[in-house]
Amino acid sequence: MALVTWDPSYSVKVKRCDQEHQKLFDLMNALHEAMRMGKGRKLMQQIVAELSNYTNTHFGAEEALMEQCKYPALPGHRLEHQRFVKQVADFQHDLDAGTGGNSVAVLEFLKDWLVKHIKKLDQSYSAHLNAHGIN
């Protein structure tokens, strides 16, 4: 059972971004399922590493679209991305050092960040990008 299910209310009306956001949901739901099956700690390092790699790809692509359209709120948006990347890097560092591994904390962070970020900040760029022909 998924922790969060993608629905149209999450759409930013930019196909590529929506697809990439769905992948982030998939990673979060994979962690949730692993925890539910008692495998959270075992799979967490793999999922956090994949999340780290994927967010760098996604954020770069999203920011490039915003740059292309001269989105005026890009600096603040980029800062939010950097904060997320740092938090995920901190989780990864803790896992690598054997001092972390709290899958509940990682899951709560992901859920909170994704829902708030997509529904507020990401949806705020939707009209601007669409107006510049990016759908």
Q: How far apart are CA 100 and CA 97, in angstroms?
A: 7
- What are the structural domains, with CATH classification, of the chain? 13-131 (1.20.120.50)
119: its two tokens: 């529904």
Alpha helices in 1-135 (DSSP H): 15-36, 40-68, 74-97, 103-116, 123-131
Phi–psi pair at 31, nearest 5 degrees = -65, -45
The mean of the pLDDT values for the chain is 88
In this prediction, residue 41 carries a pLDDT of: 65
> 102-127, pLDDT tens digit by residue?
777 778 888 898 889 999 999 999 99
Q: pTM value?
A: 0.88
